Structure 1
């Protein structure tokens, strides 16, 4: 046998420069990356959580302790850690709150699994046990939930307010949580109970004043649009006005540059000049003749139109933003028109009162007492722009929670109480398993304790001491301690259900499911392949093409040399 004949041909499967890492070290590395992300947001959990100040290349500054907002703004490049970002955003979209909890839980599940992976346990066994534990935990949450169905309206509103206050506890606006919780409940109560469409709640921000100066408008409010001469002469308030919505421009346009008109008779010149004026006057006449007191348009209403409407005692506003226009349309019953021909009373909307009011340095147009659809607008006040933005994010969470609690009227005790009860339950269940899954379910149970532990750490209390008290309470045989959670005010434990620290069950279902899925996803990855940017179209179309071609060539050269020898 000739030298070289026994050599194995070298086969290069992936494109040159492709970076691959695999096996146990890769899995551990992914878990460590996720832990780094968790460490970033962990301190924002709970009523005593800290805020994060994030500023980007453009110099925009955001101060927030909302998990989803922070995860969105962190520029995470690690592919495995990105899944934690996704799980936080999905929690925000589905429930609106619990975005920090879900990231912390997913990280803790991975942290518990890391020890087993290092000792040689197969990730698939851990994934299987975690999924079983997650299912058991969700069934237990269902069992522990307290339904709000069948309560009187007033009582139900009081209970929803308590849910909103629990959410606002951990936010920047916690000092005014009672005031804002009431605003959230009132605004959601104004929506159509069938759809509870969030688009029907507008949030407008006006810098200046204090948080207490914020108020709720029973209807639609938007900032006064750009207006032309003659605007001040228009009436600024109406009772039961007729409202006309347009999607046409009511202003004179400059002629195109190369416009050319040839006339045989000089007397016709004036009629050509007047033609455009006649067209716009005709449109304005038709608007006024329709009986409308308020004319709103998505496009501009120029000087001529503004002055004309002022002379006729009609209020007008041009360049109204799309979402505001849609809300006015739904709330007042007015239909947006693309022509002023054939306007009949059926296309006009109405409301009980309209007024233009000064709010801080801005003027706002307010349509109140709308008969058609139920809508509300929250006008937020505050000292600085960042502060109002954070108040907006906080209110979004609280509104989502109230909305979810209305749809799925079940609550569980907050403050880590439900996690401690689930942990105790899963520890007991684990003993009924004889395989390795006993260890993995116990690890899942231990991971759930991270929520009360982090609440203690963020409040500056001794977590070990508080957790021991909680374990003792939850271990009571008569079940009297099942609602005990962390008391962030005294550093002890308290029956959080009686203290009205409530969370909708849906937050917990979603958090446990999403966190388990994210942890299982990361545990199931054992190799990362990183492709550099393809060079040329062919390389892009066939990433393995060049590498494999070279591999065959090298093998061929090796064999050829051997044969010649």
Structure 2
């Protein structure tokens, strides 16, 4: 008697798509490969740029995190690559393309294993082991420049910044921007918060007209009549920061007044004027000669301050107000009552100057300076936007390198050395793990290979030269990497192609975690968009499968698969 197969019931909503098994993992890997192929060509000094067109304009960039973000990827597994590039950008600032490329190569190698019948958990175990070994070797190889003199440390920071800027649109001015990045971070003292460095963009002029301001500067705010009568320069300025609206309309917005006699209306108008004049008198008596507010400062207040030789500006950006607070030592006030000299800030020089077609307010010579502002100049808006992204990466690298003074050779040198080390380790163990670790080592070679290919060199030839150098030369040859300019190999450390060890550590960890995460997903369940039920008592809604107890309602809540 034939064995009866029981019907299998899946409690999923009608229209739900469920894919599973090895085919699902390979499908996810293929989706990730498609994304990697887009950003791969942006890697290195000779990498190409991407032009991404959106509804609000076009973006030209070769920054991995920006490309990934602008692509608007919808595939759930491929979105993991977007997340790791964003995490790398937030944590370190550089290596955003590398982390995506390494993840893609690890998945490519894993795909061959899966097709040959190796289960995903075995691959994940091998990858994690290889990553731990690689990080340990990375730390052992890193060169610590902690004991160097101040001049040597500064030179090290400039070289790390130059290595970052090599692959950017502003590579022709890398020394100029690298020195500016180091100077900007140095101005922050012990507080190495990147938000303390403001970046402002002004179209026009040459890129070498870019300024570094020791202090704060921002574009002239929206101003009312009477603004031009105010003084535009103060030495030893006293600064008052407000989060307060100084306009007549403010009082009537906050209250409701009912009158029985029309003659009372004038007394209400007079009361409003008295309230705002009281605020203005208190501010004028505080001794401040520069008044800045996050909210509007109206025409009455503007003229009032102009008559008393006080400069005012309203509607400041929150970031500008915060950086002014850090630079001048002022405390933001939410009321005009009780303003004491202790809450006022100070700066050696305040002035309003013309920069290109814009007017900017500059606060410089601040004793408590913990801020810096970079004023980027350039031709096209797209160029300035990309210069800003490049500078952000450079600033992040300098900040990280200042905290962690260990560096390694760039240009694919460290990846080749880690690859060699892992291959040697793989020979000392047996079983399937030997194969997985060996292929992890091979995946790391994608960085020098891609650098060579993007430079127009013969990737296979350059890779073979690097393997030979790293295998034969011992400790002296471990820093050989790709010379992208001359399409050959060179000693990256001797040629000052340096990268902070933190960049490589973060990239390896993130890439391995992402690859393991994608390999561990063996089923994807896509739920159809829920429809809102029409109004009605619970249990009687007319939406699809909604509001009904399970098991009722003509089978909408379940699919029955008969064996």
Is contact 1:15–1:547 with CA below 8 Å preserved after alignment? no
Aligned length: 551
Partner of 1:90: 87
Q: CA deviation at 1:275?
A: 3.0
Is the partner of 2:438 in helix, strand or coil? helix
Task: Look up the match of 2:463.
Answer: 467
User: Distance in 2 between the 1:36 and 1:270 partners?
Assistant: 72
CA-to-aligned-CA distance 1:478-531 (integer Å, 9 cap, x gap): 321101100011111111101111100001011011101111111112222222
CA distance in structure 2 between the partners assigned to 1:96 and 1:373 by the alignment: 24
Q: Which residue of 2 aligns with 1:143?
A: 140
Contact (CA 8 Å) 1:16, 1:547: kept in 2 or not?
Answer: no
Q: Against the structure 1 CA distance between its residues 114 and 484, is the aligned structure 2 distance closer, same or farther, given a 3 Å change threshold?
A: same
| Residue in structure 2 matched with residue 293 of structure 1 by the alignment | 289
Deviation at 1:552, TM superposition (A): 11
Aligned partner of residue 184 in structure 2, secondary structure: helix
Say whether the 8 Å CA contact 2:477–2:491 is kept in structure 1.
yes
Match of 1:50 among 43, 48, 64: 48
Change (3 A) 1:362 1:456: same
- The reply to whether residue 178 of structure 1 matches residue 175 of structure 2 is yes
- Following superposition, the deviation at residue 540 of structure 1 comes to 7.9
1:76 paired residue number: 73
CA RMSD of aligned residues (A): 2.6
Q: What corresponds to 1:562 in structure 2?
A: none
* Counterpart Cα distance in 2 of 1:24 and 1:231: 70
Q: Which structure 1 segments of 5+ residues have no match?
A: 559-565
Q: Distance in 2 between matches of 1:529 and 1:492?
A: 48
Q: Distance in 2 between matches of 1:543 and 1:489?
A: 68
The question of whether the paired residues in 2 share the 8 Å contact of 1:14 and 1:547 is answered with: no
Alpha-carbon distance between aligned partners in 2 of 1:297 and 1:552, rounded to the nearest angstrom: 58
Spell out, residue by residue over 1:345-375, the C-alpha distance to the aligned partner (whole angstroms, 9 max, x if none). 1111101111101011100001112223411
Q: Which is worse superposed, 76-85 or 418-427?
A: 76-85
Match runs of 1:201-220 below 5 Å:
201-220=197-216
* 1:432 aligned residue (428, 440, 445): 428
TM norm structure 1: 0.92
TM-score by length of 2: 0.93
Q: How far apart, in 1, do the equivalents of 2:22 and 2:414 lie? A: 34
Offset at residue 87 of structure 1 (A): 1.1
Contact 1:202 1:376 in 2 (8 A): yes
Inter-partner Cα distance in structure 1 for 2:257 and 2:554? 64
Per the alignment, in what secondary structure is the counterpart of residue 249 of structure 2?
A: coil
518, 524, 539: which one aligns with 2:520:
524
Aligned-pair CA distance for 1:26:
1.7
Cα contact 1:414–1:502 (8 A) shared by 2: yes
Does the 8 A contact of 1:14 with 1:548 survive in 2? no
Contact 1:234–1:310 at 8 Å: present in 2 too? yes
What is the SS of the residue equivalent to 1:241? Answer: strand
Q: Is 2:65–2:82's contact at 8 Å kept on the other side of the alignment?
A: yes
Distance 1:19 1:439 in 2: 35
Distance 1:274 1:24, change over 3 A: closer
- Report whether the alignment pairs 1:411 with 2:416: no
CA distance in 2, matches of 1:419, 1:430: 16
Q: How does 1:114-513 map to 2 (within 5 A)?
A: 114-193=111-190, 195-253=191-249, 260-262=258-260, 272-513=268-509
Q: Note the C-alpha offset of 1:22.
A: 1.9
- Per-residue deviation, residues 8-59 of structure 1 (Å, max 9, x unmatched): 3452332222222222222211111111110000000000000111112x24
* Mapped contact 1:14–1:543 kept (Cα < 8 A): no
What secondary structure is seen at the aligned counterpart in 1 of 2:42? coil
Q: CA 1:7/1:347 → structure 2, altered by over 3 Å: closer, same or farther? A: closer
Note if contact 1:12-1:550 (Cα within 8 Å) is conserved in structure 2: no
Q: Distance in 1 between matches of 2:324 and 2:312?
A: 14
Aligned in 2, Cα 1:532/1:251: closer, same or farther, shift over 3 Å?
closer
